[in-house]
Each structure stands twice: as structure tokens, then as C-alpha cells.
Amino acid sequence: MAKAWGGRFNQDTDPRVEAFTESISFDRRLYEVDVRGSQAHATMLASVGLITQEERDQICSTLNEIKAEIKAGDFEFKAALEDIHMHIESALIARIGDTGRKLHTARSRNDQVSTDLRLYVRDAIDTLDELLLECQRSFVDRCDRDADVILPGYTHLQRAQPVKAAHYWLAYCEKFQRDRDRLADCRKRVNVSPLGAAALAGTSLPIDRDMTAKLLNFASVAGNSLDVSSDRDYLAEFVFCMSLISAHLSTWCEEWIIWFTTEFNFIQLPDAYTTGSSIMPQKRNPDVLELMRGKTARVMAAVPQVLILLKSLPMAYNRDLQEDKLALFDAFDTVKACLELTPAIVSGAELKREQITARLEDGFLDATALMEYLIKKGVPMRTGHGTVGQLVAKCEQTKSRLKDLSLAELQEACELIQQDVYEVLGTENAMKALQSYGSGGEKPVADRVAHWKSALKSST
Ligand code: ARG
């Protein structure tokens, strides 16, 4: 098959080289953005007089036909045509001849692929933002449902201090909000038009780069053709953004996998999102959460993959860059699939109130509240820490709880302790005693629930 670049070649390409160099097997998904970019380019070419208005119209309508065929699965892809850009261009030429041959005027596949990728990533960012918002909503929606539940908070996975269950839900909201903010920031670097950089140096033809940028809704035009031809910084940033989303999801998965164990027994996962064992009839496994946790590996691996690809590449375009899409698409598909499943699992799960409450007084969740009580009575923090430590040790020996100690026993440890100590002892009291901004206590959590309800309402 004659190649678009075949003018100076005497030998046909070795079929193994065709198979080795093709990217159509993975970049065909760029067809929609490729057509969008080409239509903007053709419109600009007509406006500066490099093609006629009729030629522009014919190019644009034929590109629409090609797009529809690809979408419908009626388009033939072949390795000999390398990539999506060549496929679409050669289909255009096959249909409209010389007019089709004019589309690539003042353009190279180098600025074309960069334009396509930026358009694709911009859409991908918007998709992820929507999905993250849905995840946030699913957690906020749980807050009222679980308003009566107190959960142990952990450090080192050891019981630490009690918090409202909603405090956990809103913690994920915060994480996802940072993910959304990071994506929005990354979007600024994505949203710059490379179109018109041509191969690497720009062009002697009278193109209008502002016009194509505007037509494609880019916020600005890249100021250096060499730089932008080689620039994939925005991809490195985007995959990093996705890897943090994955990190957050994996924390949530891990937590709920643990909570779903018989040992913890905090949560019931919805049947539709758990699976059984082929040999052990009693099993219900949190496979979906485990796979989300596991898939984090490939999303995170995309970060070094892109960085290593970019390391030491000379300017401007190098074919190495074709590999960027593999990391990008795999990470994006994976994160998207995870985020699509998350809201249903979040809202379908039930906290096992009875089981949680039954063990809520275990683990001295009120020890810190008691220490802070002592501080309020004038005891130096370190002294109070030691005093409560001794009381905990005593309780461990007698298999009792701090709130079971008599006032006399407590006063033996510290004479400043009075009857009002029982207002902070016990898990519920200890939770209620938390009052600093952002803490897990009754009032601060209620304030943040109100904040998130209104923040998420207005962000659509
Ligand atoms: N398929 C190529 C890529 O993904 C398109 C650019 C090819 N440019 C070139 N000069 N061979 O990077």
C-alpha cells in the first residue's frame, strides 16, 4: 500500500515493521477528537484563503461521514495505515480526491496528535470531575442516614478516638475535592492549542492559530513550536492526578475490606457488589473492592511510565511519544471504571450498628478525652498523659473501663478529678467533647455536613 509519506522510498515497508510501528490498535479512540481538530483546521484554512469555502464544507461533511462510520463500527482499520490520523485522512482522500489532499496543509501529524491528545485529555478531565462529584454525593448522602453512628477512629489500625461515622464519609469528600481541584489545575496546562506548530518549526503559510484555538475552545495558543511539539507535561500531570484518585479509592477499599471481615464486622456490602467462592459455600468476598485496590497498581505505574518516556528525549517530536497513549488510556479507563462503580457501593452498604455499638466501649476510645479533661483542670499535658496511662493500665488488669472507675479511684490518680469527669468518659461523651473546627465531634461534623451539602449542590 502506498504510504502518505512514501515519496522518497524505494522499498515497501517490512510487514513486521508495520506491525511494530502501528498505533491504530490503540489510538483509534481518538477518532472523534481527530475529526474535531481537522474540521477546525479546515475552517481556518478556508478563512485565510488556503482552501475555498466549498472545499472546507466538503472536507467537513465528509469527515462527519467518516466519523459516523467509525462510531458505527463500519470502518476498516489496517496496520499499514499506522494511526488514526492516517486512516481518517486516507479515507477522506479516497472519497473526495484532491480536496482531501489539501486538509494537511500547514499541519503535521506532530501538532495533530498533540491537539487530539489535549482535546481527549480535556474531555477525560471533565468526565472524571463528574464522576468524582457523584462519589462525593454518595458519601454526603450517607451522613444523615448514619447520623446516629459513632465509629472508632484508628491510628496504626489501633483504636484511637471516637468520631461520628459522617466524619469518615466527609473525609473521602475532602480527598475527592482535592482530586477535582488538581484536575482543574491540570486542565489549565492541557487547554493550550499546539495546532499550527506543524512538524516542529511552524509554517511559512499564513495560518491563523488564534482561530483554530478558539474553534476548539482552547484558552490560549502555545508560544513555542519546538516546545509544544515535545510537550507531554500535561500527560504526566494528568496521570499523576489519576494516581492520587486511585490512592484515595484504594484507601477506601482497604478500609471497607477490613470492615467487612468477621473480625471487624462493621459493614454489610451490597450483594450485587460482592462475589462467592467456588469451593467455600459460606463465602462472600469483597472482590470489587479488592480489584479496585489492585488496579491502583496500573494507574500508579502510568506515572513512571510517562516520566521515563519523556526523560532525555531531545526536542521536538520523537516517535517514542506514540507510547504515551498506552499509559494514558489504561490509567484513564481504569480510574473511570472504578469511579463508576463507587457510588453504588457507597450507598448500597449498611453499617452494622449493633455490632459496632456492642464493642464501642472497647479500646479506651475515651482516654484522650480524659487527658484533655485533666488539662482543663490545670494538669500539665505530659503529666495528664502519664496519669491516664496508669489508669488505662489499671483498667486492663481489672478488665474494666475508664468510666467504670469510681470517683475515689480516679481521685487516687489525680486529686483534681471531680464528679463532672463522667461527662467526658465513655465513647459517646468522648466524641461529643470534640469541638475544634474540623474534628469528629457532633457539632463540627454537623457543620461540615451542611457545608458539603451546599457546596456540592452549587457545583453543578
Ligand atoms: N502515531 C503517532 C503518535 O502517536 C502520530 C505522530 C506521527 N508523527 C510522525 N512524525 N511519525 O505519536
Q: Is the CB of 81 under 6 A from ligand 1?
A: no
* 195 alpha carbon – ligand 1 mean position (Å): 14
Residue 434 confidence class, pLDDT cut points 50, 70, 90:
very high
pLDDT at 436 over 60: yes
- Say how far apart CA 81 and CA 42 lie, in whole Å: 22
Residue-wise pLDDT for 249-260, tens only, equals 999 999 999 999
Nine-digit cell string for 28: 483509534
The CATH number for 37's domain is: 1.10.275.10
Asked if 98 and 130 sit in the same domain, the reply is: no
Give residue for cell 457545608.
451
Asked if 293 and 432 sit in the same domain, the reply is: no
Side chain identity at residue 274, one-letter code: T
For the ranges 64-78, 276-290, 318-332, 418-432, which has the lowest average pLDDT? 276-290
pLDDT at 431 over 80: yes
Asked if 119 and 34 sit in the same domain, the reply is: no
141-160 mean pLDDT? 97
414-430 mean pLDDT? 97
Of the residues 18, 110, 195, which should be mutated to test ligand 1's pocket, given the most ligand atoms within 8 Å of the CB? Answer: 110
287-316 mean pLDDT? 97
pLDDT score at 277 = 77
Nine-digit cell string for 313: 528525549
- The DSSP bridge pattern shows strands 150-155 and 158-164 to be antiparallel
pLDDT score at 1 = 63
Residue 280 confidence class, pLDDT cut points 50, 70, 90:
confident
Asked whether residue 1 is assigned to any structural domain, the reply reads no
pLDDT at 43 over 80: yes
* 113 alpha carbon – ligand 1 mean position (Å): 7
Residue 283 confidence class, pLDDT cut points 50, 70, 90:
confident
Q: Is the CB of 321 under 6 A from ligand 1?
A: yes
pLDDT score at 10 = 83
Asked whether residue 88 is assigned to any structural domain, the reply reads yes
Residue 13 confidence class, pLDDT cut points 50, 70, 90:
confident
Residue-wise pLDDT for 362-382, tens only, equals 999 999 999 999 999 999 999
Asked if 218 and 237 sit in the same domain, the reply is: yes
Query: Among the residues of 23-164, which ranges form H helices?
Result: 24-27, 31-47, 53-72, 84-96, 98-101, 109-145
User: Considering 61, 220, 277, 454, which one is annotated as catalytic?
Assistant: 277
Asked whether the beta carbons of 346 and 334 are under 8 A apart, the reply is no
Peptide bond into 201 cis (omega under 30): no
Asked if 170 and 312 sit in the same domain, the reply is: yes
Asked if 384 and 399 sit in the same domain, the reply is: yes
pLDDT: which is higher, 8 or 401 = 401
Which domain does 25 fall in, by range?
6-105
User: Which one of 314, 330, 358 terminates a domain?
Assistant: 358
User: Which one of 324, 358, 392 terminates a domain?
Assistant: 358
Residue-wise pLDDT for 21-41, tens only, equals 999 999 999 999 999 999 999
Question: Number of structural domains, the chain?
Answer: 3
Chain-centre distance for alpha carbon 109: 29
Q: Is the CB of 109 under 6 A from ligand 1?
A: yes
Residue 3 confidence class, pLDDT cut points 50, 70, 90:
confident
Q: Is the CB of 113 under 6 A from ligand 1?
A: yes
Q: Is the CB of 104 under 6 A from ligand 1?
A: no
Which ligand 1 atom is the nearest neighbour of the CA of 84? 1
Asked if 138 and 246 sit in the same domain, the reply is: yes
Asked if 18 and 125 sit in the same domain, the reply is: no
Which ligand 1 atom is the nearest neighbour of the CA of 5? 11
Q: Is 417 helix (H, G, I), strand (E, B) or coil?
A: coil
Asked whether the beta carbons of 371 and 382 are under 8 A apart, the reply is no
Residue-wise pLDDT for 329-345, tens only, equals 999 999 999 999 999 99
Asked whether residue 249 is assigned to any structural domain, the reply reads yes
300-317 mean pLDDT? 97
Query: What are the two backbone dihedrals, phi and then psi, of residue 148, each rounded to the nearest 5 degrees?
Result: -90, 0
Portion of the chain with pLDDT greater than 90, in percent:
93
Asked if 348 and 415 sit in the same domain, the reply is: no
pLDDT: which is higher, 10 or 207 = 207
The CATH number for 454's domain is: 1.10.40.30
pLDDT score at 62 = 98
pLDDT at 459 over 70: no
| 156 counts as catalytic | yes
* 38 alpha carbon – ligand 1 mean position (Å): 16
pLDDT at 443 over 70: yes
427-446 mean pLDDT? 97
Q: What is the dihedral of CA 90, 92, 97, 100, to 10 degrees?
A: -100
Q: Is the CB of 335 under 6 A from ligand 1?
A: no
| 277 counts as catalytic | yes
pLDDT score at 284 = 84
Asked if 308 and 180 sit in the same domain, the reply is: yes
- Say how far apart CA 307 and CA 312 lie, in whole Å: 10
Asked if 297 and 446 sit in the same domain, the reply is: no
State the DSSP string of 378-405.
T--HHHHHHHHHHHHHHHHHHT--GGGS
- Say how far apart CA 327 and CA 240 lie, in whole Å: 11
pLDDT: which is higher, 8 or 297 = 297
Nearest CA to ligand 1 atom 3: 322
pLDDT at 460 over 60: no
pLDDT score at 74 = 97
pLDDT at 352 over 60: yes
Asked whether residue 177 is assigned to any structural domain, the reply reads yes
Asked whether residue 330 is assigned to any structural domain, the reply reads yes
* Averaged pLDDT of the chain: 96
pLDDT at 439 over 80: yes
* 313 alpha carbon – ligand 1 mean position (Å): 15
Asked whether residue 237 is assigned to any structural domain, the reply reads yes
Closest CA to 191 of 107, 127, 121: 121
Residue 413: which H helix or E strand, with range? Answer: helix 407-413
Q: Is the CB of 83 under 6 A from ligand 1?
A: yes
Asked whether residue 283 is assigned to any structural domain, the reply reads yes
Asked whether residue 250 is assigned to any structural domain, the reply reads yes
Residue 145 confidence class, pLDDT cut points 50, 70, 90:
very high
The CATH number for 213's domain is: 1.20.200.10
Q: What angle do CA 267, 271, 273 make, to 5 degrees?
A: 90
Asked if 101 and 116 sit in the same domain, the reply is: no
